[in-house]
Amino acid sequence: MSRPRTTRLVAPAYAKVNLGLEVLGLRQDGYHELRTLFQTVDLKDDVIMTPRTSGLTLTCTDPTVPCDKRNLAWRAAHDLLRYTGLKRGVDLALVKRIPVGGGLGGGSSDAAAVLIGLDALFRLKLGTTGLYPLARRLGADVPYFLFGGTALGLARGDEIYPLRRQVEAQIVIVAPGQPVSTPAVFRRLDASLTPRENSSTIYRFVSSDLDGSAGYQILSNDLERAALEEAPELAGVVRRARALMRRAGAFFTSLSGSGSSFFGLFGEARSARLAVEMLRDAGVVAHRSRTLSLDRYRRTWERALKVAGVRPTWIQ
């Protein structure tokens, strides 16, 4: 098939962790009412988008990732083209680095990158507001990636409030490489769930001084216990990783989302490096990274779009 003159966009799709996650109750729509604090980390997939006259293709460096409509990135492109009625197509190529099914939001981030990227490549001018309903329909974590940085997620976790104060920390991520089923973790939690709409931990945290490490001690992930019951072989890794990271100087440790990834926050690169070494000596694979602020998230997008010769339309 003949191709028009194309601009190839190599877009960044960053991973996230949940610094805190409160499950407040079950909603009428079957989802759970959440309060969560999202944080982008400097670990990314690349989503390469090459426009074509028609058709939609997807390839991926990870052979375990499906390359059809089961893939959220494929669905994002399909939904956007259908919604706008645009008679164009795109070749998508995913360079996967974010562990799959690990609570780091890789699939959701890839999908959001497709929405932002195609909006710019095809000059659709939908922007964050126009893309939001499409993102929301793809999955509860997708809207967050239209913003990035440190942000509060309410409702299903899809009502996003970027924070003015952004978390700055070194982060060590342990990805045991064992996917945990998010619906199964939520189902397990339901058995013991007591509605607690009045919980205010995350609100207290976001109104506290984010520069200090003491404030983090009130945060927790309500899914952690259910996730470790769902995947009991993870419990040992998490216990060991938590103890080693604390010993290396982590001021906060938590499971991300419904797992299986686990992380620690550190004030200094030296402590984070030490944690990675201690974990590796104990046979646990760990990645060192940094948190990524809202500003840096946007700047990396601006750079990617500039390289492709495309004007950013999503940044107001």
**Catalytic-residue membership of 119:** no
Compare residues 190 and 211 and give the one whose CB is closer to ligand C5P.
Answer: 190
Closer to ligand C5P by Cβ: residue 23 or 167: 23
16 is catalytic: yes
Q: Which of 79, 110, 141, 158 is catalytic?
A: 141
Positions touching ligand C5P (CB under 6 A) are 31-32, 34, 139-141, 156-157, 182-183, 186
Which residue among the candidates 16, 44, 119, 222 is catalytic per the annotation?
16
Q: Which residue, 108 or 128, has its beta carbon nearer to ligand C5P?
A: 108
Q: In the complex, what is the shortest distance from the CB of residue 140 to ligand C5P, in angstroms, rounded to a whole number?
A: 4
For the bound state, the minimum distance from the C-beta of residue 32 to ligand C5P, rounded and expressed in Å, comes to: 4
Measured from the CB atom, the residue of 80 and 210 that comes closer to ligand C5P is: 80
Q: Which burial class, exposed, middle or buried, applies to 206 when counting CB atoms under 10 A from its CB (0-12, 13-18, 19+)?
A: buried
Q: At its nearest, how many Å lie between ligand C5P and the CB of residue 185?
A: 8
The minimum distance between CB 144 and ligand C5P, in angstroms, equals 11
Which residues are marked as active site?
16, 141
